[in-house]
């Protein structure tokens, strides 16, 4: 049900490095992590970049929406100083750059498609899936392929239509009543959900239906052990300093 790595570094390097950056990937590697989760969003000129927030202000200086800003502007911004002065000068990276780095270093990926707004859902799913499919053309081993996930059902459907051979995980905060029908429509391999809203009964239902079960974002080793006992297959963590990459 889940042939992929079981413990992933959230947004590259968790809380130890600027999220969704090369510095994050390098920090994850330093802690033994060869499996990551990261977010993909489109710029105004439709460049898929690694970005979580739809607007500047938290991880990028200044103001403005990512979807209304060209890559030529965004790539010049400091994406590291917000976390620590030691990361000053760190830049955003494109999805292409992120894929290249991960492939070079043998890092498995959970690619979260993160539309900046509902109007961008389909296009974000298409372009993210295209980029990943290009890099993995000819790869048939399921465990080697990245999993595409998203809170946006529309984005994942677009990804399915664009690159049907790439595995998909439907991402939800609270598991809805129609979760099984949604997974079937997406031809998904897994349900991704918050560990905070999961129960042993719900976990059992997902596993009994034959799907992988992935949780975000688990930062306590005791909690990780607890949900594993419920049948959870994998999780991502911000605390790559507390939870070893081979914890499971």
d(CA 169, CA 244): 24
The alpha-helical segments, DSSP class H, found in the chain are: 22-30, 71-74, 95-104, 121-135, 153-162, 179-186, 200-208, 221-230
- Do the beta carbons of residue 151 and residue 171 sit within 8 Å? yes
Active-site option among 10, 120, 192, 195: 10
Is 31 annotated in the active site? Answer: no
Burial code (b: 16+ CB inside 10 Å, e: under 16) for 71-105 equals beebeebbbbbbbeeebeebbbbbbeebbebbeee
Is 120 annotated in the active site? Answer: no
β-pairing, 212-216 vs 7-10, is unpaired
Q: Phi/psi of residue 115, each to 5°?
A: -60, 135
Q: Which of 7, 16, 79, 83 is nearest to 50 (CA)?
A: 79
Q: Which of 227, 237, 236, 221 is nearest to 206 (CA)?
A: 227
Vertex 217, ends 168 and 21: CA angle to 5°? Answer: 75
- Do the beta carbons of residue 197 and residue 230 sit within 8 Å? no
CB atoms near residue 130 (< 10 Å): 15
Active site residues: 10, 52
């Amino acid at each position: 049900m889940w042939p992929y790595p079981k413990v992933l570094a959230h947004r590259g390097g968790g809380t130890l490095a600027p999220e969704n950056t090369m510095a994050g990937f390098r920090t994850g590697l330093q802690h033994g992590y060869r499996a990551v989760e990261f977010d993909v969003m489109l710029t105004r000129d439709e460049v898929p970049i690694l970005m979580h927030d739809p607007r500047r202000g938290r991880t990028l200086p200044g103001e403005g929406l990512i979807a209304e800003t060209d890559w030529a502007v965004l790539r010049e911004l400091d994406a590291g100083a917000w976390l620590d002065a030691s990361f000053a000068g760190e830049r955003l990276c494109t999805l292409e750059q992120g894929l290249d780095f991960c492939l070079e270093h043998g890092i498995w990926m959970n690619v979260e498609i993160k539309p900046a707004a509902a109007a961008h859902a389909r296009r974000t799913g298409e372009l993210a899936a295209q980029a990943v499919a290009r890099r993995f053309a000819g790869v048939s081993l399921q465990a080697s392929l990245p999993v595409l996930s998203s809170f946006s059902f529309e984005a994942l459907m677009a990804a399915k239509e664009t690159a049907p051979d790439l595995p998909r995980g439907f991402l939800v905060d609270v598991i809805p009543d129609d979760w099984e029908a949604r997974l079937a429509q997406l031809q998904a391999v897994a349900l991704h959900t918050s560990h905070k809203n999961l129960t042993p009964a719900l976990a059992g239902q997902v596993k009994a239906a034959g799907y992988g079960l992935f949780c975000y974002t688990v930062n306590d080793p005791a909690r990780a052990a607890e949900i594993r006992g419920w049948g959870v297959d994998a999780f991502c963590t911000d605390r790559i300093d507390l939870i070893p990459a081979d914890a499971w």
